Amino acid sequence: MNQLTAPEPGYTGFVEEEHHHDYAGDTLLGFWIYIMSDCILFATLFATYAVLSFSFAGGLTPKDLFDLNFVAVETGLLLFSSFTFGMAMLGAQNKNMAHLLLWLGITFSLGGGFLAMELYEFYHFSHEGAGPTTSAYWSAFYALVGTHGLHVFAGMLWMVFLVIHMLKDGITETNFTRLSCLSLFWHFLDIIWICVFSMVYLMGVM
């Protein structure tokens, strides 16, 4: 016959298990889902632009206003900012705060230069008579390019708040995950801009 032994003090009948919450994995997964939803947004804007790409209402066309040299400089600023962000990520991986802040500052400046050129372009087009309400084409143009510009501005704001967190708490695992999400977002904006440059500007002057 089996003998029953008294349970040890504190025994509850349940096995306790440790659960480690994977903050970084959950955050990156959630952010990838956000990126996919943003892809749908831009796909809709690109489709709208494509449908309205010849609806000029007898007014100005892209060939009348687009300056590819100007846009090439604008594009160069944004693409180079991806490289500088990569350097900032290396600084974060090496726990080098000075290196991180230097390259993030350069990235922020390049993003600011890109936005300044885009705003100047909007002002110039509107001054020449091609505003958002001039025709269906220009409405689609401003919606697509302007939405991308708003994303760049949001990324720059995110950069500022992240630097504040870094200065306060250091390069913690949480802050590194936040920086990784911002890096993903920034590179995503570069890819979208390459599509804008090809579909809007290059095809616009052909």
Confidence of residue 36 (pLDDT cuts 50, 70, 90): very high
Other Cβ atoms within 10 Å of 145 Cβ, number: 19
The larger pLDDT score, comparing residue 7 to residue 187, is at: 187
Confidence of residue 88 (pLDDT cuts 50, 70, 90): very high
Average pLDDT rounded to a whole number, residues 6-15: 46
109-139 pLDDT per residue, tens: 999 999 999 999 999 999 999 999 999 999 9
As its CATH architecture, domain 32-204 has Up-down Bundle (1.20)
Residue 72 to residues 5, 9, 42, 106, 109, Cα–Cα distance (Å)? 81, 75, 21, 19, 17
Per-domain residue ranges of the chain = 32-204
Rounded to whole angstroms, how far apart are CA atoms 165 and 24? 17
User: By C-alpha distance, which of 36, 53, 77, 33 is closest to 144?
Assistant: 53
Rounded to whole angstroms, how far apart are CA atoms 179 and 75? 23
Average pLDDT rounded to a whole number, residues 66-89: 96
The two counts, helices (H) then strands (E), for the chain are 7, 0
DSSP class of 19: -
Structure tokens that stand for 80 in this block: 């180079």
Confidence of residue 20 (pLDDT cuts 50, 70, 90): very low
135-164 pLDDT per residue, tens: 999 999 999 999 999 999 999 999 999 999
- Mean pLDDT estimate for the chain: 89
